[in-house]
Structure formats: C-alpha cells, structure tokens
Amino acid sequence: MAAVVSSAGGLLAMLNEAHPVLKLHALTNLNALVDNFWPEISTSVST
C-alpha cells in the first residue's frame, strides 16, 4: 500500500536542518509534491 501525503510540512521543516544531505532530501521530495502542495510550500519560501 502506498503512503498518502497530506502535508508538505515535514519536508518544509527539514529545510531548517543544518545538514546539507537532509536539505537535499527535502528539496528533492518537495519538487515531486509541488504541483499538489504549492499553496502550502509557497508560504514557506522567500521571494
């Protein structure tokens, strides 16, 4: 059974981690979710 993602919050929180590998993991996964979670993601990125 596939996991259902209901929020990008966990991945967005990982962007605040100090370790670059964690940030890379978060960005890679956010890229896959951006079409469905853009409203949530857009409030967390600076312009």
Q: How far is CA 20 from CA 17, 27, 38, 41, 47, in A?
A: 8, 10, 23, 19, 21
What is the band of 45 on the pLDDT scale with cuts at 50, 70, 90? confident
Report which of residues 14 and 45 the model is more confident about: 14
**37 within a domain of the structure (yes/no):** yes
**3 within a domain of the structure (yes/no):** no
Read off the DSSP letter of residue 33.
H
**25 within a domain of the structure (yes/no):** yes
Tokens 């993991």, residue located? 25
**29 within a domain of the structure (yes/no):** yes
**27 within a domain of the structure (yes/no):** yes
| Dihedral sign, Cα of residue 25, residue 2, residue 44, residue 42 | positive
What is the band of 33 on the pLDDT scale with cuts at 50, 70, 90? very high
**35 within a domain of the structure (yes/no):** yes
Average pLDDT, the chain: 93
**In total, how many domains does the chain have?**
1
Read off the DSSP letter of residue 6.
-
Query: By residue range, what is the domain housing residue 19?
Result: 8-46
pLDDT given at position 3:
82
**26 within a domain of the structure (yes/no):** yes
